[in-house]
Structures are given as C-alpha cells and as structure tokens.
C-alpha cells in the first residue's frame, strides 16, 4: 500500500511550526543576517514547544516521534530561515543525536534533557583546515594522559562553534588504523585549551554561526569519550545519515520559499503591458521549478519514511541530499531571474535564498561525496 498522507498530528505540527516561524523567527532574520549572529534566544523557545526533541524518547524530555515528523519541522523552519535551521539541525541532529545513539547512560543524562529543553547548545567538529571530505585524513590527536586524554588540533567550519556549550570532537586515539582509530569526545566549552579562534564570514547562511576551533593541550577526562570507548567515529559517520535526510527536506524548502516569492512576483509585476505570469516563458519556468521541488520533496520524504520504518536508506538519503541541492540551486537562481533587478537587491529575500542554497551541495558531505556513495550503492 502506498500512502502520501501525513497524520492529523503531523498536519497540526506543520501548522504550528509555520505560525511559530512567522511570529518568532521571521522578525529575527534581518538583524541575524546582517550581524552574522545566530539568535540564541530561539533555542529555548523551540525547546519549550518540544521541537528539539521530536525524535528523542520521553525519558530525556523528547516526544518519541519519527524522522518524517522531524522533517516537517525542518521544512517549515527552512522555508523561513535556512541559516537558523542549520544551527538548530547541527544542535539536534549532529550533536545531541549521536549522544543519544552512542553515548553512555551518564552522558545521556548529562547532555540530552538540557539539549532537548534548549538550555544548552551542541556543536559537532570533524572538518579541519586541511581535510573535509576525506574525514579519515583528520590530524587532531587525543593522547592518553593522567587517566584521561589531551587533545591537540584545529577544527574548521564548525556550526555553533562560537555559541556551543559542548562540542563533539573527532580525534585520533590510534594513528595506526586510518579511520577506525578515530574517537569522538564530548568536550565542554569551558574546558581549558578549547579556544574559538575565529568566526567565519560567509556568503550565505549568515544567521548561523560558523567558527574555527583550536584545541591546545586540552585535557579531557575519560568520561568524555563518546560511549566510553575508543573508535566510535566510523559508527558515528554512519549515523549521520539522518542529517542527509534533513538536508534533502531543507534544501527543497529553500527552493520552495524562492519559488513562492517568484510566483507571487510574476503575478504582480507587469512588462510589455501584461503581468509576467502571462508570458509563456515565465510560466514554463515556474512550472519547471514547481515540478522539481515536488520531486525533491517526494524523494526526501521517501528517504525519511525508509529511515523511520527502519529500512536501509543509504542510497536514498544521499540521493535526497544531492538532488535537493541541485534543485535548490536551480530554483533559487531562476527565482532571482524572474525578479529581474529587484532579485539582486537585498530588500527582496530571493537573493538570500540564492546565497543560502549554495551551501546545500557543500556541507555534511559534498554532492560529489554523495555521488560516490550512490555509485557504490548502485553496484559500481
């Protein structure tokens, strides 16, 4: 049986997030984008409404729902602000979720309830100045010392780096095995030797903070080792499939916001004595945009459904992230085009959508890396 229907509760959630995003997120965007500052005050508000704990069990203050439901939240948030959504996703999908999945009971107790309530913010640091796609090529080391570890290395492009209360940090504990020798540490922000050296200026997603971190003789106790054992990295990387599914929905949502603005504009703006929407070339463009968005969403929600029902979805998650990124770039570009000169002016939101869309093919595994994964999945 094939069904595309969302449940009543999911529809109600969509409505609630839509209203919340309009009332509480939209007014923050202008300042946040201009000042390149993530509005941290949104985090406890999201926590209070249960929106940071959608997929987490009730014992940690979550709601215990599925990935599909979480995707609805991501979609409605991203239609309003991709940047703010990126920071929220990094916190929930990349920092809190791995703790839930691999953390010890003590780690879950310590970090999950407060993360889900929005009292603390998490970050996740794999990428380094000299390695990104080739994650196993990272250089940060964690050497045993005094019953704990001492971290040394640099991390780059870390979302929430400037505002986090804790950060998951990937570092080699065993240099002799490439990839397998990488462990993950939960490092509290106030640990001596954990420095935020630079906040990065970005082309898009400006309302999300991205930073360079330095770990210099940063001593952490043994209890900070994710799951209490070394070598958690490879399993963690596999778990990050959930983030790819979110990206599929998020990028499609950026495209949809741009499409909606262009559709509206095309009906209002006149040229040569009629509204733009009366020109077949513009109509075909909008029809094409709408079709691509629809297929991107269908693929992303299929991946979410596979994930939610415990089915394998490595291929579909990568396809969703890859395809939605293409759609987002295409649709936002055409949306700017339909706006003509106004599309290039900051007063109109389409130029932001265009800049925001470009990140989709880069972060959390570039489009090329997604294609490598898809290639492997289709038996090449």
Partner 1 sequence: MKIAVCVKEVPDAGPAKRMDPDTLRADRSGDRSLNDFDLNAVETALRMKEEAGDGEVVLVSMGPDRALESMRKGLGMGADRAVLVTDEAAVGSDLIATSKVLAKALEREEPDVVLFGQQASDGDGAVLWSAVADRLRMPVISQIAEIDMSGGEVSAKRQTEFGYDRISAPLPAVLAVSDAINEPRFPSLKGIMQAKKKPQETLSLADLGVGADSAGTAGSRTTVSALSDPPSRGETLTIEDDGSGAEKLLDYLVERKLV
Ligand X SMILES: Cc1cc2nc3c(=O)[nH]c(=O)nc-3n(C[C@H](O)[C@H](O)[C@H](O)COP(=O)(O)OP(=O)(O)OC[C@H]3O[C@@H](n4cnc5c(N)ncnc54)[C@H](O)[C@@H]3O)c2cc1C
Under rule CB under 6 A, residue 139 binds ligand X: no
Task: CB nearer to partner 1: give 20 or 233.
Answer: 20
d(CA 80, CA 133): 29
Query: What are the tokens at 50?
Result: 């249960």
Under rule CB under 6 A, residue 127 binds ligand X: yes
Query: What are the tokens at 369?
Result: 């890396």
User: Binding residue for ligand X (CB under 6 A) from 125, 213, 237, 262?
Assistant: 125
Contact partner, 63, from partner 1, ligand X, none, Cβ < 5-8 Å per class: partner 1
Contact partner, 338, from ligand X, partner 1, none, Cβ < 5-8 Å per class: none
Q: Do the beta carbons of residue 220 and residue 257 sit within 8 Å? A: no
Interacting stretch for partner 1, rule CB under 8 A, among 8-16, 137-145, 203-211, 253-261? 8-16
Interacting stretch for ligand X, rule CB under 6 A, among 39-47, 123-131, 247-255, 345-353? 123-131
User: Binding residue for ligand X (CB under 6 A) from 359, 360, 373, 374?
Assistant: 359
Q: State the chain's maximal CA–CA distance in angstroms.
A: 79
User: Residue 54 CB, nearest distance to partner 1 (Å)?
Assistant: 7
Interacting stretch for ligand X, rule CB under 6 A, among 10-18, 156-164, 263-271, 286-294? 156-164
Q: Do the beta carbons of residue 289 and residue 328 sit within 8 Å? A: no
CA distances from 167 to 126, 174, 180, 285 (A): 10, 21, 20, 43
d(CA 338, CA 331): 10
Handedness of CA 40, 97, 306, 208 (dihedral sign): positive
Task: CB nearer to partner 1: give 267 or 371.
Answer: 267
Interacting stretch for ligand X, rule CB under 6 A, among 57-65, 276-284, 303-311, 363-371? 363-371
Question: Within 10 Å of residue 166's Cβ, how many Cβ atoms?
Answer: 27
Contact partner, 54, from partner 1, ligand X, none, Cβ < 5-8 Å per class: partner 1
d(CA 380, CA 361): 22
Task: CB nearer to ligand X: give 201 or 347.
Answer: 201
d(CA 66, CA 313): 15
d(CA 176, CA 286): 54
Catalytic residue among 256, 364, 368, 377: 364
Q: φ and ψ at 346, to 5 degrees? A: -65, -25
Task: CB nearer to partner 1: give 13 or 218.
Answer: 13
Q: Do the beta carbons of residue 165 and residue 122 sit within 8 Å? A: yes
User: Residue 96 CB, nearest distance to partner 1 (Å)?
Assistant: 16
Contact partner, 48, from partner 1, ligand X, none, Cβ < 5-8 Å per class: partner 1
Site for partner 1 in 38-97 (CB under 8 A): 48-51, 54, 63, 65
Percentages helix, strand, coil for the chain (3-state, rounded to 5) are 55, 15, 30
User: Residue 128 CB, nearest distance to ligand X (Å)?
Assistant: 8
User: Which pairing describes strands 194-199 and 182-188: parallel, antiparallel, or unpaired?
Assistant: unpaired
Interacting stretch for partner 1, rule CB under 8 A, among 4-12, 266-274, 285-293, 334-342? 4-12
User: Residue 135 CB, nearest distance to ligand X (Å)?
Assistant: 8
Residue 166-205 contact track with ligand X, rule CB under 6 A, x = bound: ------------------------------------x--x
Q: Do the beta carbons of residue 331 and residue 255 sit within 8 Å? A: yes
Contact partner, 366, from partner 1, ligand X, none, Cβ < 5-8 Å per class: ligand X
- 9 tagged catalytic: no
User: Residue 333 CB, nearest distance to partner 1 (Å)?
Assistant: 28
Contacts of 109 (CB under 8 A, 6+ apart): none
Task: CB nearer to partner 1: give 9 or 180.
Answer: 9
Q: Do the beta carbons of residue 262 and residue 290 sit within 8 Å? A: no
Give Rg (Cα) of the chain: 21
Interaction site with partner 1 (CB under 8 A): 8-9, 12-13, 15-16, 19-20, 48-51, 54, 63, 65
- Catalytic (active-site) positions: 364
């Amino acid at each position: 049986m094939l069904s595309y229907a969302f449940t009543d509760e999911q529809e109600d959630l969509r409505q609630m997030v839509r209203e919340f995003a309009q009332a509480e997120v939209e007014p923050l965007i202008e300042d946040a984008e201009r000042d390149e500052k993530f509005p941290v005050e949104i985090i406890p508000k999201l926590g209070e409404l249960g929106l940071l704990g959608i997929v987490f069990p009730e014992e940690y203050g979550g709601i215990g729902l599925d990935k599909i439901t979480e995707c609805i939240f991501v979609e409605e948030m991203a239609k309003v602000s991709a940047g703010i959504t990126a920071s929220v996703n990094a916190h929930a999908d990349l920092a809190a979720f791995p703790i839930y999945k691999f953390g010890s009971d003590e780690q879950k107790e310590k970090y999950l309830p407060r993360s889900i309530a929005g009292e603390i913010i998490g970050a996740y640091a794999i990428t380094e100045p000299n390695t990104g796609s080739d994650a196993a090529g990272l250089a940060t080391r964690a050497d045993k010392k005094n019953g704990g570890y001492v971290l040394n290395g640099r991390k780059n492009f870390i979302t929430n780096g400037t505002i986090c209360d804790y950060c998951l940090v990937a570092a080699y504990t065993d240099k002799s095995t490439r990839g397998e020798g990488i462990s993950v540490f939960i490092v509290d922000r106030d640990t001596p030797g954990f420095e935020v050296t630079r906040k990065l200026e970005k082309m898009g997603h400006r309302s999300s903070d991205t930073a360079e971190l330095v770990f210099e003789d940063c001593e952490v106790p043994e209890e900070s080792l994710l799951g209490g054992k070394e070598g958690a990295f490879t399993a963690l990387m596999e778990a990050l499939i959930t983030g790819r599914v979110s990206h599929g929905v998020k990028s499609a949502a950026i495209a949809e916001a741009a499409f909606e603005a262009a559709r509206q504009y095309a009906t209002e703006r006149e040229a040569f004595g009629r509204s733009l929407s009366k020109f077949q070339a513009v109509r075909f463009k909008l029809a094409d945009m709408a079709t691509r968005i629809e297929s991107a969403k269908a693929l992303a929600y299929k991946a979410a459904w596979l994930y939610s029902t415990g089915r394998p979805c490595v291929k579909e998650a990568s396809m969703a992230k890859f395809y939605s990124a293409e759609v987002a770039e295409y649709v936002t570009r055409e949306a700017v085009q339909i706006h003509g000169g106004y599309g290039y002016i900051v007063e109109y939101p389409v130029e932001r959508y265009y800049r925001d869309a470009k990140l989709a093919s880069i972060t959390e595994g570039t489009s090329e890396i997604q294609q490598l994964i898809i290639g492997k999945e289709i038996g090449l």
